[in-house]
Chain A
């Protein structure tokens, strides 16, 4: 990471800490904000959060690694999460899974080479009556068929 980038990230985290506060209860909100923007929380970002909040970096790391929606390694610009839980599974999740993998040339858990999309499975999205469902970043799409799923993926930047 370049020094300039590091400085920018430090400043950004400082602003977040100013906004949410240095109490421990603000930690998850700060981490969520970093994740939203950078799609991951790097070691450096974790250390900065720890320094500014005056807690041990391991504390920050333990929180980041606990939650499924937070991660330490870089991901694609868009995270696509396909629901793998029973109702969506019965509604045809597998077909969506196969088509999407073939189309993007990656498997679930991987990121496209152009860093456009990361594919992931997720547990119940609460769309069981309208499966199969998937999240694209925070947006939810329901009643998917392979064709519309591909169309949605092609539209995201």
Chain B
């Protein structure tokens, strides 16, 4: 089935999927001015929606404060985490929120150029997004003197990625934009000071930017009413795997995994992978944990596994992914992921000692601290959590292993 035909389903939700009229956000932003935008954002407690959870207001303030001839806004639409597809929905169905978020960010920090870094896999969206940008230019929401404001001009370009997961890391993304291999940089300096072409750059996730127009219109306090103390607002969850109703759901932070499973009508669930391949795998005993930065953090990916799934195979799929997507720049990640994959293959062939497995868990922990960027720091998560939470299944301690032993 060709994908475009499956769209146009009506969505609803507390923040992002609530009613919105094109242009309202930018109009309000120009009315209240830079300081009040930053105030509302800080009040809202909005944190980065890509997974890392850095406070958005702080990021914007830092780059607003840095002095430079040029500044840039980059929208990170390199959504590559396995099991994540919320940005696809936002870009196809709510492009006004994303682009207006970028325009507002540009106004706030004093940037004239915004860049949408769209992953190569999403090239089929390019035409509709370019068309939408043309509409915005016609409505004077983009271009010179936006909405008659003589001190504010801003335009957005779209740049395509070419199939590299690591380019979702903000400094790798900037390298890629600059025409280099997408290898992450050392931080500091952070992009808010030294970003694209050495200029201050704000790199925000699609969903983060899309939240901004709603926050300005309805206020930081309103946004805060949703969610928990540490995780304010709502979140888009991309749910896939063994459930009746996979798809994108907007739910307040603080929703428990059990509640989510009920909403998506998952039955006979054995495990839930929270946060994609780089996240953690939770067994049934932990389904009471809540989704939020303070407990089970996620960029939105939720993959459901029912009783029939073999968790070792799941783990193998994840490790193959990381071994392939590691950029190869730093040793812990380049070699570590291959070693972890080897271990999974050895377990599969029943050719291992527990000493070896424990050593590899230690290696995983080393990778978490020694890798240069988030890829290597988080790739051992699934290895460690699956081996620890599903010990009996994987090492055959119940069922046939025990009887044979």
* Measured CA separation A85–B83 after assembly (Å): 8
Residue A130 interfacial (CB < 8 Å): yes
* Measured CA separation A89–B83 after assembly (Å): 11
Tell me if B165 and A123 are in contact (CB < 8 A). Answer: yes
- Total inter-chain residue pairs, C-beta < 8 Å: 140
Q: Which residues of A contact B181 (CB under 8 A)?
A: 62-63, 66
* Measured CA separation A142–B1 after assembly (Å): 6
* Measured CA separation A30–B249 after assembly (Å): 38
* Measured CA separation A4–B280 after assembly (Å): 56
Size of interface on B: residues with Cβ below 8 Å to A? 56
Residue A52 interfacial (CB < 8 Å): no
Shortest distance between the CB of B262 and any CB in chain A (Å): 18
Q: Which of the 9-residue segments B20-28, B121-129, B223-231 touches chain A?
A: B121-129
Residue A140 interfacial (CB < 8 Å): yes
Chain B residue with minimal CB distance to A70?
A: B162
Shortest distance between the CB of A40 and any CB in chain B (Å): 13
Per-residue interface assignment for chain B, residues 60 to 100, with 1 indicating a CB less than 8 Å from any chain A CB and 0 otherwise: 00000000000000000001111111011000000000000
Residue A19 interfacial (CB < 8 Å): no
Tell me if B162 and A28 are in contact (CB < 8 A). Answer: yes
Tell me if B162 and A85 are in contact (CB < 8 A). Answer: no
Tell me if A66 and B182 are in contact (CB < 8 A). Answer: yes
Identify which of residues 57-113 in chain A touch chain B, using a CB-to-CB cut-off of 8 Å. 62-63, 66-70, 84-87, 89-90
Tell me if A141 and B3 are in contact (CB < 8 A). Answer: yes
Residue B163 interfacial (CB < 8 Å): yes
* Measured CA separation A89–B316 after assembly (Å): 12
Tell me if B163 and A25 are in contact (CB < 8 A). Answer: no
CB within 8 Å for A68 and B238 given contacts A25-B178, A85-B82, A130-B6: no
Tell me if B179 and A141 are in contact (CB < 8 A). Answer: no
* Measured CA separation A24–B176 after assembly (Å): 10
Identify which of residues 1-37 in chain B touch chain A, using a CB-to-CB cut-off of 8 Å. 1-3, 6
Identify which of residues 310-337 in chain B touch chain A, using a CB-to-CB cut-off of 8 Å. 314, 317-318, 320-321, 324-325, 327
Shortest distance between the CB of A156 and any CB in chain B (Å): 12
Tell me if A32 and B6 are in contact (CB < 8 A). Answer: no
Tell me if A69 and B1 are in contact (CB < 8 A). Answer: no
CB within 8 Å for A32 and B162 given contacts A86-B82, A140-B124: yes
Residue B375 interfacial (CB < 8 Å): no
Most buried by A among B2, B122, B314: B2
Identify which of residues 282-321 in chain B touch chain A, using a CB-to-CB cut-off of 8 Å. 303, 305, 309, 314, 317-318, 320-321
Q: Which residues of B contact A122 (CB under 8 A)?
A: 121, 163
**Contact residue among B162, B246, B325 (Cβ-Cβ distance under 8 Å from A129):** B246
Tell me if B1 and A123 are in contact (CB < 8 A). Answer: no
Q: Which residues of A contact B83 (CB under 8 A)?
A: 85-87, 124, 128
CB within 8 Å for A123 and B3 given contacts A24-B178, A129-B238, A138-B123: no
Chain A residue with minimal CB distance to B86?
A: A126
Tell me if B242 and A126 are in contact (CB < 8 A). Answer: no
* Measured CA separation A23–B198 after assembly (Å): 14
Residue B241 interfacial (CB < 8 Å): yes
Shortest distance between the CB of A53 and any CB in chain B (Å): 9
Tell me if B2 and A141 are in contact (CB < 8 A). Answer: yes
Q: Which residues of A contact B1 (CB under 8 A)?
A: 141-144, 148
Tell me if B324 and A123 are in contact (CB < 8 A). Answer: yes
Identify which of residues 105-157 in chain A touch chain B, using a CB-to-CB cut-off of 8 Å. 122-131, 133, 135, 138-144, 148
List 18 A-B pairs, Cβ < 8 Å: A28-B176, A32-B162, A35-B162, A63-B179, A63-B181, A66-B164, A69-B120, A69-B162, A69-B163, A70-B162, A84-B320, A86-B82, A86-B83, A86-B303, A129-B85, A129-B247, A140-B2, A142-B1
Give 4 new A-B contacts, CB below 8 A, not counting A29-B159, A123-B80: A85-B321, A123-B163, A123-B165, A129-B238
Which 5 pairs show the lowest CB-CB distances between chains A and B?
A: A27-B179, A68-B163, A128-B240, A67-B162, A129-B246
Residues of chain A touching chain B, judged by Cβ–Cβ distance below 8 Å, are 23-29, 31-32, 35, 62-63, 66-70, 84-87, 89-90, 122-131, 133, 135, 138-144, 148
